[in-house]
Amino acid sequence: MQALHKTSLNALTYRSLTLADLETPIVVIAPDYLAEDSYRASLMVAGEADTLEHCSKLFGRNFDSTQDLQAFLRQFHDASSMVARMTDPSRMVFDVDWTEPLAEQFARYDKDSVSKFGRSFPPSCILDQMILGRMMTANDAVFRSARFGGSPLIDAPTSWQYLLWNYEYNGNIVPPNTETRDLLINKSLSLSGSDHGMLSGLPRMY
């Protein structure tokens, strides 16, 4: 019930856009596809594939499977040794607003996990599950927008960064729809220089 109230209040923030007298709707209130087993399975498959790609960039080596990645991560017993092994630590983003050294961010994230789930997690599990969760969220935004011929626009800076990486890994082509392209351009221009990433189109579907 609390989640329903939160969703309803969030929807009200788009009231003016929803009621705009336009031929093509700007806002669509759609069903929660997460209730569908097949949809959740698609998100998991896509998320795992993107996680492997992301971790390959992060550690500078290829991972053939989820099992291969997890076996690699298990060798690290603390965050410091895992961070030291990263060849591109800039791709390990918990929150774009966090400024602590990366190893300390693992501890901060774990502290949040304890408050939410009542238990602590090893750094290897935190990395794997955090990236998987972010990639599944990015694919959720992409899949939902694709159903209505739209483009995912995310206001949360950290989620937006993972969406950019999602597009990068899926090798997208330029969308033919001018209005869709303009939405992406407008969003990109609103970012600071360090946050720019070129969205080149719609992702492949799984």
Specify the pLDDT at position 7.
62
- Is residue 55 within 8 A of residue 86, CB to CB? The reply is no
Q: In the chain, which residues have pLDDT < 70?
A: 1-10, 171-206
Specify the pLDDT at position 73.
96
In the block, which residue shows the tokens 């996680």? 51
pTM: 0.73
- Is residue 103 within 8 A of residue 80, CB to CB? The reply is yes
Specify the pLDDT at position 57.
97
**pLDDT digit string (tens) for 43-53?**
999 999 999 99
- Is residue 84 within 8 A of residue 118, CB to CB? The reply is no
d(CA 146, CA 144): 5
Specify the pLDDT at position 55.
97
d(CA 140, CA 22): 26
The pair of three-digit structure tokens given for residue 84, joined into one six-digit string: 């030291």
Report the length, in residues, of the chain.
206
Which residues contact residue 132 at a Cβ distance below 8 angstroms, ignoring those fewer than 6 apart? 47, 48, 51
Specify the pLDDT at position 145.
83
The pair of three-digit structure tokens given for residue 174, joined into one six-digit string: 């330029």
Give the torsion through C-alpha atoms of 39, 43, 44, 50, to 10 deg.
160
d(CA 143, CA 148): 9
The pair of three-digit structure tokens given for residue 69, joined into one six-digit string: 């990645």
